[in-house]
Amino acid sequence: MKTIPTYAHGILDYAIGIFLIIVPNIFGFAHLGGPAVGVARTVGVLMLVQALFTNYELGLFKWLPMQLHLADDYVLSVFLAVSPWLFGFNQLSGNVWLPHLIVGIIVFCITWMTQREPRRVLVRSTPAP
């Protein structure tokens, strides 16, 4: 059942995007650099940019349809969750790889529970003639 409205999904997009950018500092692995830091920060930035361009209540540019946004979220969440094994940093301590796995699973679940359309249809903003 799709219980999360797109407005709430938007709030979570911005919050999780910012969280992923700072997660290496919060969990103390920013000094490692490499894929552990790069994946978290890149996915965080992609989530923020996608949120800005999505056609939902909190999108600024309203270009990306919500259904495409959700498809992208599925891809990003799975990538984030499996990235420790893809890039080999699963061998490091749990504070490095566990945030990727947990946030990836959370984003996947949020996406699965999000409504596919905003409550009201939003029109793409176009400049006045």
Q: Which domain holds residue 88?
A: 6-113
Residue 92 belongs to a domain: yes
Residue 128 forms part of a structural domain:
no
User: How many structural domains comprise the chain?
Assistant: 1
Over the chain, what is the mean pLDDT?
94
Q: Is 118 part of a structural domain of the chain?
A: no
Is residue 23 situated within a structural domain? yes
Does residue 34 lie in a domain region?
A: yes
Sequential DSSP letters for 4-18: B-HHHHHHHHHHHHH
Which pLDDT score, from 0 to 100, does residue 106 have? 98
Say whether pTM exceeds 0.85.
yes
pLDDT at 69 over 60: yes
Residue 13 falls within a domain, yes or no?
A: yes
